[in-house]
A and B are shown apart, each in its own frame.
Chain A
Amino acid sequence: MKITIGHLYPDLLNLYGDRGNIQCMKKRCEWRGIEAEVREFQLMDHIDFSGIDILLLGGGSDREQMIVCQKLKALQKEFRDYVEDNGVLIAVCGGFQLLGHYYDTEDGRIEGLSLVDLYTEQGSPRLISNIVIENELFPYPIVGFENHSGRTYIQGNQPFGKVSYGFGNNNKDKQEGVMYKNVIGTYLHGPLLPKNPHVCDLLLSRALEKKYGDGKLEPLDDSQELEANQYIVKRFVN
């Protein structure tokens, strides 16, 4: 078995330890005897979506995000087909904002990919905090760190989680992130996956399911992952 992970524009979108998300997916495949290949795409590269099982779109500075969004617009149709065909996509921070229709900033509008029905508006102050969210899909909370001035509104879509501590999408509706088909969009970095192995495994399982029709994963010893996760939960929630 083999999983191919596509990392979009790591030179530009690499602000908050996104390499850790890639490393986490790769290792958790390898520890189970699943081959994992990581393909890094730079701005000038052609992207063949058909060879990709999981895509990661990370976060960058507003300036860098502007450069990326211009490039991505040209790929909008292929991107949409990938998502509608249940392709697995994890979009973090700036990447999450790019999933939507637009991000209105004081320097103008950054057009999004309109892959999911959501939009973002810049607000003040910047929302910077450790964050804990809960989702019934998972046996324990999801923890991370958020740092965004965007306020995101996900309309009627499913959130990635309900906020127990921190700000979430917009500091109003207690929702964090979005889940749509096999897409997860979230403001959580830290990076997201290492301290939330259950989220990482969900992505891997969905990708395997789509590719091989069987998403079953061998369990791993996650005691160190969970201790790091529990530390945050205990410190900020309980």
Chain B
Amino acid sequence: MKLRRTAAILTAKALSFGCKLAGKQGVTMAGKLALKMDPDILKDLAHQVREKIFVVCGTNGKTTTNNLLCSAIEAEGKKLVCNHTGSNMLMGVAAAFVLAAKWNGKLDADYACIEVDEASTVRVFPHFQPDYMVLTNLFRDQLDRYGEIDITMKLLDQAMKMAPEMKVIVNGDDSLSAYLAMESGNEFVTYGISEQVFEDEDSHEMREGRFCKKCGARLEYDFYHYSQIGVYHCTQCDFKRPCIDFDASHIQMKHGLEFDVEGRHIAADYRGFYNIYNILAAYSAARTGGLELKTFDQVLKNFNPQNGRNEVFHIQGCRVLLNLAKNPAGFNQNISAVMEDKEDKDLIIAINDNAQDGIDISWLWDVDFDRFRSEDIKSITVSGIRCEDMRLRLKYVDISSELIPDIKTAIEKRIREGSKNLYVLVNYTALYGTHNILKDMER
């Protein structure tokens, strides 16, 4: 038994190391191999976590929320296990624990913070039941892989029932996530924003969950923050936005992001309204877990996950910002963040259609690209496997773009031509490669 465990851990570590040398992410393979050699490995390792296990779920914001939560907990002097790279299916989760373990099968961790793909929760929870689940939001994403949102919600509901002791920390402003938590029977706490932040939200944005999940009637909104996130109630039944336990107020976005919660002032040098939710989610989770978070401001200041989410590079006098944009809600929030920057800028959009991206890219037509029609956007370059589709999408909102299929060539050209401010928005499988290209160029 013990020999098998040692062999599994060593094999996984060796594989992961080898992949790193080759410049590849071998995390999933490492997890797969370890579970195959020792099917109980995840269960036993998770059992060794001394205090609490958090999982983070939701369509958008998982990785950033989870990494922030990790940093916040580490700042309290705790040791933890985390799947930093965002490998969030069963194999990735297993790998996080296995790679953190010592060769003798011992895990030295106070906490685990694990992001889990929504559909994978029902595969992960048989191995361990978390103490807390953070549920950030639910949007349409990769319909070819997961089917409709209804299916994702069914799976999450099953998962919550598999872990009845698990407390859910839920975004109360998302009617779909809130509904799940409220109906699950699990204990839950909520976070949200009760004040109206945007004057006239563009009503053309694609919204999920316009109808009450409880009775089917149309939901009425006092206001929207973005997509279906806002303050809502049902016109027919008693379903409404729950009371908010962690309510962010006095939202400011002039210089980075600022807000108040629990009487504390929180400031971060990030862009993008959605990041308020990510920070708030991590904060609420850690506080619910009993942590004091005395140095949370410092945590936010030092937070630099270097994983291509809002990552900044400086290349030959050009500021390059790389971000992931992989579904309509996420892309629309990215567009908002880009447009908050009033300086002149160039833009590269790379769209792939590999299995992990979703091979159906029709969602591009649900993104409000017309908002890129602006004087301060000096150029848009389309790149990636489906660059022709992206160019066509822009054509139908009267935006012309340059087609350069190879992302590296595209970045080099923009920098050579003197761009000082370059945004690179890519979907999932383009992220890792683009991140490495930019890192190389920065050196």
Alpha-carbon gap, A63 to B216, bound state (A): 10
Q: Is the CB of B365 within 8 A of A19?
A: yes
Q: Which residues of B contact A179 (CB under 8 A)?
A: none
Q: State the interface size on chain B (CB cutoff 8 A).
A: 28
Chain A residue nearest in CB terms to B388:
A228
Residues of A138-160 contacting chain B, CB below 8 A: 145, 147
Alpha-carbon gap, A27 to B397, bound state (A): 8
Residues of A187-238 contacting chain B, CB below 8 A: 189-191, 194-195, 224-225, 227-228, 231
Shortest beta-carbon distance from A19 to chain B in Å:
6
Shortest beta-carbon distance from B405 to chain A in Å:
10
* A 13-45 binary contact with B (CB < 8 Å = 1; else 0): 011111110011001000000000000000000
Q: Which of B362, B363, B388, B397 has the most CB of A within 10 A?
A: B362
Alpha-carbon gap, A128 to B144, bound state (A): 7
Whether B391 sits at the interface, judged by CB under 8 Å, is yes
Q: Which residues of B contact A145 (CB under 8 A)?
A: 144, 359-362
Q: Which residues of B contact A61 (CB under 8 A)?
A: 148-150
Q: Which residues of B contact A24 (CB under 8 A)?
A: 396
Chain B residue nearest in CB terms to A20:
B365
Q: Is the CB of B365 within 8 A of A147?
A: no
Shortest beta-carbon distance from B197 to chain A in Å:
24
Given A23-B365, A67-B216, A189-B362, also A224-B143 (CB < 8 A): no
Cβ 8 A contact of A16, one of B150, B211, B216, B362: B362
* A 88-129 binary contact with B (CB < 8 Å = 1; else 0): 000000000000000000000000000000000000001010
Q: Is the CB of A63 within 8 A of B143?
A: no
Chain A residue nearest in CB terms to B401:
A224
Q: Which residues of B contact A224 (CB under 8 A)?
A: 388, 391-392, 395
Whether B364 sits at the interface, judged by CB under 8 Å, is yes
Alpha-carbon gap, A19 to B359, bound state (A): 19
Q: Is the CB of B389 within 8 A of A27?
A: no
Q: Is the CB of A16 within 8 A of B396?
A: no
Whether A84 sits at the interface, judged by CB under 8 Å, is no
Q: Which of B364, B386, B388, B391 has the most CB of A within 10 A?
A: B388
Whether B366 sits at the interface, judged by CB under 8 Å, is yes
Given A67-B216, A147-B144, also A16-B360 (CB < 8 A): yes
Q: Is the CB of A147 within 8 A of B391?
A: no
Given A16-B143, A23-B365, also A147-B396 (CB < 8 A): no
Cβ 8 A contact of B362, one of A20, A228, A231: A20
Q: Is the CB of A195 within 8 A of B392?
A: yes
- Range for the number of chain A residues in contact with chain B: 20 to 34
Q: Is the CB of B396 within 8 A of A20?
A: yes
Q: Which residues of A contact B363 (CB under 8 A)?
A: 17
Q: Which residues of A contact B392 (CB under 8 A)?
A: 194-195, 224-225, 228
Q: Is the CB of A14 within 8 A of B150?
A: no
Alpha-carbon gap, A128 to B360, bound state (A): 9
Shortest beta-carbon distance from B177 to chain A in Å:
18
Alpha-carbon gap, A11 to B359, bound state (A): 24
Q: Which residues of A contact B365 (CB under 8 A)?
A: 17-20, 23, 191, 194
Shortest beta-carbon distance from B428 to chain A in Å:
18
Whether B162 sits at the interface, judged by CB under 8 Å, is no
Whether B206 sits at the interface, judged by CB under 8 Å, is yes
Alpha-carbon gap, A14 to B389, bound state (A): 19
Q: Is the CB of A228 within 8 A of B391?
A: yes
Q: Which residues of A contact B149 (CB under 8 A)?
A: 61
Cβ 8 A contact of A231, one of B140, B143, B388: B388
Q: Which of A17, A130, A225 has the most CB of B within 10 A?
A: A17
Chain B residue nearest in CB terms to A19:
B365
Cβ 8 A contact of A228, one of B150, B206, B389: B389
Q: Which residues of A contact B359 (CB under 8 A)?
A: 128, 130, 145
Q: Which of B216, B363, B389 has the most CB of A within 10 A?
A: B389
Alpha-carbon gap, A189 to B365, bound state (A): 11
Chain B residue nearest in CB terms to A42:
B218
Q: Is the CB of A227 within 8 A of B360?
A: no
Given A14-B206, A224-B388, also A27-B362 (CB < 8 A): no
Q: Is the CB of A19 within 8 A of B366?
A: yes
Alpha-carbon gap, A62 to B211, bound state (A): 15
Alpha-carbon gap, A126 to B140, bound state (A): 18
* B 200-220 binary contact with A (CB < 8 Å = 1; else 0): 000000100011000010000
Alpha-carbon gap, A18 to B366, bound state (A): 8
Shortest beta-carbon distance from B404 to chain A in Å:
14
Alpha-carbon gap, A24 to B392, bound state (A): 10
Q: Which residues of A contact B147 (CB under 8 A)?
A: 126
Q: Is the CB of B389 within 8 A of A195?
A: yes
Shortest beta-carbon distance from B329 to chain A in Å:
14
Q: Which residues of A contact B206 (CB under 8 A)?
A: 14, 19
13 residue pairs A–B, Cβ–Cβ below 8 Å: A12-B211, A16-B362, A17-B364, A19-B366, A23-B365, A27-B396, A61-B149, A147-B143, A191-B362, A194-B365, A224-B392, A224-B395, A228-B389
For the complex of A and B, the 9 pairs showing the least CB-CB separation, nearest first, are A20-B365, A17-B365, A17-B362, A228-B388, A61-B148, A16-B362, A145-B360, A228-B392, A227-B388
